[in-house]
Structure 1
Amino acid sequence: MIKTRNFAIAFLFILSVMICSLFTGCGDKSVSQQSTTQTITDHAGRSVTIPTQINKCYYTSPLGMIMIYSLAPDKMVGWSMQLTDKEKKYIPDKYHSLPFLGGLQMNGKINTEELLKAKPDVIFAVGPDALTDTTKSDADKLQEQLNIPVIVVDGDIKSTEKAYTFIGQLLGVGDKAKELASYCNKTMNEVTEATQAIPEEKRAKVYYAEGPKGLATEPKGGSHALVLDLVNGNNVAQVEAKGGSGMSSVSMEQVLKWNPDVILAWGADAGGAYDLIRTSQDWANINAVKNNKVYEIPNYPFNWFDRPPSVNRFLGLKWLAATLYPDIYKVDMVSEVKNFYSLFYHVDLSDADARELLKNSGLTVN
């Protein structure tokens, strides 16, 4: 009896080992091995093979940098623009130590040696201009040069939901992408609905003063003055659009002839002419100056109007609509600033912080 029982036990043990070997390789092999890569189609129609899990990434310009920062800051390997101490005030401390690695905007360069050391899994190429064959070839060249997948994303402001959804899926932060895209869509709809019906004769005549002397600008339809167009402001600049970085040169005589009712200018920290325009006799006879309607564009940590032309402009839409048309578009900008900075910049502001950002911006805040 004992021998028979021992034989049965031994038989069952051998049988179980055989079954284990057949189905699982006795633990040495998995049933199926998950792929570590996937092939996607980017917004330029390029097939790009990328890791299935992206832990670290970079970007060719501040436009992409800000989108990634708003979505998944812990996946950033560096900054594509050099942050000043004033800009860092609105960025959590944990990200201050990320290195400046450069970008390709405005004929800039990426520090490829340091970027390779950082070992990003992918690089996002996000630009405000229409996607062309040049966009594709530039991405292909950079990918070949660095041996890092380069993913082209449509950065047009009207494609923000598509861009956020696409990047969010790749980075595994789909819920956050949905939240930010929803904010952007709601803002665009609210602002354009409130301002689109303003008749020509009631539209604010606005001059966008760029540079240290205020004698560079952007025409209507130019990508760098898009926020002004979207709030239905009357851009007085009748100049030819320059591609790329923009900034068409104008003369003082032209500005005097246009005689804008409102001037938007960069502050001194941004290398702008806000103080000069308000105090120089050359500008004194312009309506905007005479009526104290020269406004400094809020600039921290990223400019609300442009440069860089990323999702920071959605807060700019609210600010500019409320500034130009306070009777038509009413909003509590202190509350809006605090909400936006929490959602997009991961920082909680006080009421005083928000008021400081709005100082000189044309809005009266309590």
Structure 2
Amino acid sequence: MSNRLSNILIPVISVVLGVVVGTIIMLVSGYDPVAGYTALWNGIFGEVYYMGETVRQVTPYILAGLAVAFAFRTGLFNIGVEGQLIVGWLAAVWVGISFDLPKIIHLPLAIIAAAAAGALWGFIPGLLKAKYRVHEVIVTIMMNYVALHVANAIIQDVLSDGSDRTENIADSASFASPFLQGLTDYSRLHWGILVALLCAFLMWFILEKTTRGYELRSVGFNQDASQYAGMNVNGNIILSMVISGAFAGLAGAMEGLGTFGYASIKGGFTGVGFDGIAVALLGGNAAIGVILAALLFGGLKVGALNMPLEANIPNELVDIIIALIIFFVASSYMIRWIIQRMSKKGVK
């Protein structure tokens, strides 16, 4: 069996196994899995409002998944997507409430600010990795907490008078669309989905169709060989984290300029950045795979909200199913071995 087919089958099998084990857990817990999955389906596709909310949830998942996937493809593990998302969110809202500009200038400026803030937050661990070989996992984990608490302090002391949230951004900096909201029964769907899809195309184009992308992938595969070939290893490590951080910052812009329209003090993390790791893993770190995985995770997150209402099943069970899917993706070696064994038996 070809590696390409195997790479497609593994996430599909992981999802199926996650659903099957989730069904067993529902049965053991005394819940009706048919009613549970029916409620989940209705919570995603049952009404146009739910469909709009699903696409709205998918939007930051795509960008968070791209951030993790881009770093993975270049040999880095960016655990700091959550922090980069938070600073991107804050920067986008800051621009959104601080200027009075035409929409054609204001919205792009807010988007650029979010990408720049995320890129800066990714630059720091990239620089430390390149210059001093400090492991990016440790640095990015710590910077998540720095981002959270610094953002909270700025919101409370700079962008508001001691309040736990900023004022709403100007309409000229908003992704919100009365047309899309009316089309989806006033869901929070916004035009940010177009930005997310464009970024997925950009990731594919950069990594697969440019010389710089080849260098980035080469450095991720083997730094010593890349340096011997004359590539700037340190520069490519920093660039990879900067691009990854920019994607994460844009994920924050989707929330600040689209879903909420403001920034607020958070008692904990949003979770989107951490879910981006699962999205990237399930999507095989490929742009199209990330989009499909984001659709699945976004659908599960939104559909889960309907499970307690229709089937009296706690929506935490969906979190268990998601965790099981991630577990089986992480166990891809075992699934690949089973597929290869079955393929050899079929040949015989």
TM-score range, shorter chain: under 0.3
Give the structure with the higher percent helix: 2
TM-score, L = length of structure 2? 0.26
Give the structure with the higher percent strand: 1
Structure with max Cα Rg = 1
